[in-house]
Amino acid sequence: MSTLWIRNVKLYDPAGGMDGVPGGILLKDGKILAAGDDKALQKWTAGETGWESIDGAGLCAAPGLVDMHVHLRDPGFTQKEDIESGCRAAAAGGVTSLLCMPNTKPVLDTPEIIRYVLEKGEKASCRVYVAAAITKGLADGEALCDMESLQKAGAAAFSNDGRPVVDSKKMAQAMMRAAAMGVPVVSHCEDLYLSKGGLMHEGSVSRELGVPGVPRAAEECCTAREIALAAAYDVPVHICHVSTKNSAAMIREARARGVKVTGETAPHYFALTHEELRGRDADKRMSPPLREEEDRLAMIEALRDGTLQAIATDHAPHTPEEKASFASAPNGSIGMETSLAASITYLVKPGYLRLLDVIRLMSLSPAQILHLPQGTGTLSAGAPGDVVLFDPDAVWTVDPEKLHGKSRNAVFKGKTLTGRVKMTFCRGELVYRDEE
């Protein structure tokens, strides 16, 4: 399928200002040749042979989604997920580029491990980018990694993910070194002393269940520190999976005074609350935890007013055996296959955001934060041939057994969502087709 004409669709491209414009897309040699009116595109194909055609009647076409927070579990935990299976799940969710986190075994802290992931990613159905570790082994007592060597090996970002850098001086040094290389630092903000032992959000539900809780302060203390470091040293930082109203308020205020801070939230934080935990379902336990209704609404407002620039999933696969016990299960849920549908269901349908806004938050904006190759997250001529076709009105119920990764710990399981990915193209090739 080296030459393909996707026609008769509605085009959504934040970079090009196309907001449901009727037309089509030409893909050739792994790139976008052109996008726009089908009659104009027909002139491009006239006189050339070998063009295949797909009629996308009733479907929307957008740049492939960019998920900037994913756990692929490879190497070391491939019983949960591996690069190939994780990228299958990505493709089924319309994700064509992802940033994988470093908490693997071994940790992604050497050039050799970075190259291993990137080489496996070259053969997968999604473009794989790597967030390398900030400290060796993700241990706070260890020295900073050789960040320059990791960047030369292909690291697209730096993060200690679920093991935040406790030493503020080391974090400041890491942020300055990364800034000098033009590589983002993405920070999982959690004070591990405050969150220790907590299984869910500290609030009315945790108290009713008699379950240890995680206070908002566990996230907010670390968020405040990262903002302070970014302001003091005039360097950028990206805050992962924002979940509390106060974290959003701090980021909003900091951005207003020129601090180089960006942030993301995940679909479960603007869709669900700690009320979901009443059934003691470990699949709905993650870090940070589902919060309260006022926090959920604050995430929506932060996406609406530009405080947060991206929607990411924190896709975190675990085996059914690990998730069997509410009290001892590891944190995390999977979400790449449901992220677009959840965003349409909980943001677009209620009228909080336009569909074009959601596409921007899930494609162009994360690509810009990560400094991905030019054209990523757009339908512009010469851009990567990464496209998602979806039906914005399709209604479906999430069945974990029908998902495409190895794990089944889906936070939206059993939920009825609107919007379904029908086809995904990566590098100009069809990598997913919905058979239902």
Q: Answer for the pair 63, 94: CB distance below 8 angstroms, yes or no.
A: no
Q: Total domain count for the chain?
A: 2
Q: Let me know whether 308 and 425 are in one domain.
A: no
Tokens of 262: 């960006």
pLDDT tens for each residue of the chain, 436 residues long: 579 999 999 999 999 999 999 999 999 999 999 999 999 998 887 767 778 999 999 999 999 999 999 999 999 999 999 999 999 999 999 999 999 999 999 999 999 999 999 999 999 999 999 999 999 999 988 899 999 999 999 999 999 998 899 999 999 999 999 999 999 999 999 999 999 999 999 999 999 999 999 999 999 999 999 999 999 999 999 999 999 999 999 999 999 999 999 999 999 999 999 999 999 999 999 999 999 999 999 999 999 999 999 999 999 999 999 999 999 999 999 999 999 999 999 999 999 999 999 999 999 999 999 999 999 999 999 999 999 999 999 999 999 999 999 999 999 999 999 999 999 999 999 999 998 7
Q: Is residue 172, in this structure, part of any structural domain at all?
A: yes
Answer whether residue 50 is part of any domain: yes
Structure tokens given for 319: 């085996």
Q: Is residue 204 situated within a structural domain?
A: yes
Residue with tokens 């790449």: 336
The answer to whether position 377 is within a domain reads: no
Residue 85: its H or E element: helix 83-92
As a whole number of angstroms, the distance between CA 245 and CA 190 comes to 15
3-state SS assignment for residue 368: helix
436 vs 433: CA distance, rounded Å:
9
Structural domain contains residue 303 = yes
Q: Are residues 326 and 224 in the same domain?
A: yes
Whether 314 is catalytic: yes
In a domain, residue 413? The reply is no
Is residue 33 within 8 Å of 391, Cβ to Cβ? no
Take residue 432 and report the two structure tokens written for it: 């997913």
How many whole angstroms separate alpha carbon 10 and alpha carbon 37?
10
Asked if residue 24 is part of any domain, the answer here is yes
Contact status, residue 163 vs residue 189, Cβ threshold 8 Å: no
Q: How many residues does the chain have?
A: 436
Q: Which residue has the tokens 């943001």?
A: 347
Do the domain assignments include residue 379?
A: no
The answer on 191 and 169 residing in a single domain is yes
- Residue 20 to residue 407: CA distance in whole angstroms: 35
Contact 44, 34 (CB under 8 A): yes
Same domain, 116 and 174: yes
Residues 327 and 276: beta-carbon distance below 8 Å = no
* pLDDT at site 162: 87
Does the CA dihedral 231-191-106-122 come out positive or negative? negative
Burial grade of 380 (CB within 10 A; 0-12, 13-18, 19 or more):
middle
Q: Domain holding 29: CATH number?
A: 2.30.40.10
- The dihedrals phi and psi of 26, each to the nearest 5 degrees, come to -105, 125
Q: Which secondary-structure segment (H or E) carries 218?
A: helix 216-233
Which tokens sit at 132? 């390398």
The torsion angle over the Cα atoms of residues 219, 224, 226 and 231, rounded to 10 degrees, is 160
Give residue 48's identity as a one-letter amino acid code. E
3-state secondary structure of 283: helix
Q: Are residues 105 and 163 in the same domain?
A: yes
In this structure, the answer to whether residues 130 and 27 fall within a common structural domain is no
Is residue 104 located within the same domain as residue 244? yes
What phi, psi does 114 have (nearest 5°)? -60, -45
Domain that holds residue 285: 64-369
Is the domain of 291 the same as that of 396? no
27, 44 Cβ separation under 8 angstroms: no
Residue type, 82: D
CATH number (domain holding residue 256): 3.20.20.140
CA dist 280 and 401 (Å) reads 20
CA distance 210 to 121: 44
- Whether 222 and 340 map to the same domain: the answer is yes
Question: Considering 82, 161, 314, 357, which one is annotated as catalytic?
Answer: 314
* Domain match, 85 and 102 both: yes
Tell me: do 254 and 333 sit in the same domain.
yes
For residue 302, the one-letter residue type is A
Decide: helix, strand or coil at residue 238: strand
**Statement to judge: residues 389 and 423 lie in one domain:** yes
